[in-house]
């Protein structure tokens, strides 16, 4: 029997979970060649990038090696960035891997019988003048680590300049009051407290001025108003300034220029507003895409113009029965990965493809160690149940554990959790380098 070639592009939450399931089920038994492609060597759960950016999490400890994971779970890993798609020959094209101006690996082509696009999303700056040159983005581990290094150096400089000066301020501006922007703002205050405890105490807590800038009427617009209001109060209690109904027209080295002509001064600038699929996906291989480069899919999660190509997660576009698209959230990627796994197995067993339906299990937003707010159950009940505090924090952490269970199983995840507790005792609370 000829082994089918299943290629998954993108090792985010959905792509890696799908590769793991298919590798365990088909790859280990020699029933298929399962291949995972990603531009990075390692995986880190994207909702944790704000913690890497502030130093609350050490990515060197929590990241997962794709190559080692592939070896343990019956699939192969290919390092590379997808650059094109040839649907006639059923091949994807990977860009050359370069080290400076030297070529490490040439352009490569991978054949597929079934292709799954799980490339995720990047931040959308909406073409705002100066945003790409003067802001940090948190789309990847490398970007988060770059911001972390800049944050430490900026804080070190500010701490020296603040000595004996009550009028000094370190200004950090964050555009976008979705989950990433709100969670980052809270983590920055936690970082300031930890750095003061480690000796950088010339800069007082109230001299760190964090501003969250949102074009809409409220923060966390995707969540119910009462949760948004609760998070708003928590941020203000930390000293975070929340500027809603504020449109940014230009970003400079001095800060953010607003539509009404004012300037929000910022020594460090982060753009966390809006998402889009990567530019190279636009009309790739003649597939149907929307204005933010997402691939249109049918309810089966197959692309509208090719049944051998599936798309899941942030890079896919599917309208629900209520007329709204499936939201770009980790829980959607997890659900879609599980559904595509079932549909691929249906193909193997000569059964029909089934339709996917998004189930909203609620949303949680972590405000560092200060609080956690959110809703549970989502549309599984007539309404959502609001949760805060310790219970919400436990549930928030459990979401990451569920992702780890999907990758490693229960026993190994238990060991990972135990080692994390040990690290909290023997390692600094903040990554200081």
Stretch(es) of the chain classified as CATH 3.50.50.100: 127-273
Q: List the pLDDT tens digit at each of the 433 positions of the chain.
A: 568 999 999 999 999 999 999 999 999 999 999 999 999 999 999 988 999 999 988 888 889 999 999 999 999 999 999 999 999 999 999 999 999 899 999 999 999 999 999 999 999 999 999 999 999 999 999 999 999 999 999 999 999 999 889 889 999 999 999 999 999 999 999 899 899 888 888 998 889 999 999 999 999 987 888 888 988 999 999 999 999 999 999 999 999 999 999 999 999 999 999 899 999 999 999 999 999 999 999 999 999 999 999 999 999 999 998 999 999 988 899 999 999 999 999 999 999 999 999 988 777 787 877 777 766 654 434 455 566 666 666 777 788 888 999 999 999 999 988 988 888 788 887 887 7
pLDDT digits (tens, 9 = 90+) for 17-51: 999 999 999 999 999 999 999 999 999 999 889 99
pTM of the model: 0.92
Fold held by 127-273: FAD/NAD(P)-binding domain (3.50.50)
Fold of 4-121+277-348: FAD/NAD(P)-binding domain (3.50.50)
Q: Which residues of 79-94 are buried (b: 16+ CB within 10 A; e: fewer)?
A: bbbbeebebeebbbbb
Q: For residues 377 and 394, give the distance between their C-alpha atoms in angstroms, rounded to a whole number.
A: 15
| Rounded-to-10 torsion of CA 271, 273, 278, 279 | -90
What is d(CA 386, CA 192) in angstroms, rounded to the nearest whole number?
29
The first and second tokens of residue 12, run together, are: 């985010």
Domain with CATH 3.50.50.60 in the chain: 4-121+277-348
């Amino acid at each position: 029997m000829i082994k089918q070639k299943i290629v998954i592009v993108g090792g985010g939450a959905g792509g890696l979970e799908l590769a793991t399931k298919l590798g365990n089920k088909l790859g280990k038994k020699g029933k298929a060649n399962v291949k995972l492609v990603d531009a990075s060597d390692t995986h880190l759960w994207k909702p944790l990038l704000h913690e890497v950016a502030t130093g609350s999490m050490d990515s060197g400890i929590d990241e997962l090696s794709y190559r080692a994971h592939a070896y343990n779970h019956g699939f192969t890993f290919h390092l590379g960035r997808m650059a094109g798609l040839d649907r006639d020959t059923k091949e994807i094209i990977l860009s050359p891997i370069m080290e400076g101006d030297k070529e490490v690996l040439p352009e490569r082509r991978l054949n597929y019988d079934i292709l799954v696009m799980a490339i995720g999303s990047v931040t959308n700056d909406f073409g705002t003048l100066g945003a790409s040159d003067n802001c940090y983005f948190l789309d990847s581990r490398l970007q988060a680590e770059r911001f972390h290094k800049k944050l430490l150096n900026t804080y070190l400089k500010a701490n020296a300049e603040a000595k004996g000066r009550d009028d000094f301020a370190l200004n950090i501006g964050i555009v976008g009051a979705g989950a990433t922007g709100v969670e980052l703002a809270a983590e920055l205050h936690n970082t300031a407290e930890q750095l003061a405890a480690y000796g950088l105490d010339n800069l007082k807590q109230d001299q760190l001025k964090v501003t969250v800038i949102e074009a809409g009427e409220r923060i966390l617009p995707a969540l119910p108003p009462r949760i948004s209001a609760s998070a708003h109060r928590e941020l203000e209690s930390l000293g975070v300034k929340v500027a809603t109904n504020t449109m940014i027209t230009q970003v400079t080295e001095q800060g953010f220029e607003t539509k009404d002509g004012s300037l929000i001064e910022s020594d460090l600038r982060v753009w966390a507003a809006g998402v889009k699929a990567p530019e190279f996906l636009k009309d790739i291989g003649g597939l149907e895409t929307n204005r933010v480069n997402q691939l249109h899919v049918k309810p089966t999660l197959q692309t509208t113009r090719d049944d051998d190509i599936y798309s899941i997660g942030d890079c896919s576009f599917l309208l629900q029965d209520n007329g709204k698209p499936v939201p770009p959230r980790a829980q959607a990627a997890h659900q879609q990965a599980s559904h595509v796994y079932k549909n691929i197995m249906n193909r193997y067993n000569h059964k029909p493809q089934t339709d996917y339906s998004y189930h909203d299990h609620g949303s949680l937003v972590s405000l560092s160690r200060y609080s956690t707010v959110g809703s549970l159950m989502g549309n599984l009940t007539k309404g959502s149940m609001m949760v805060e505090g310790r219970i919400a924090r436990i549930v928030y952490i459990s979401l990451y554990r569920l992702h780890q269970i999907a990758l490693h199983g229960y026993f190994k995840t238990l060991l990972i959790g135990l080692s994390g507790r040990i690290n909290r005792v023997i390692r600094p609370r903040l990554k200081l380098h």
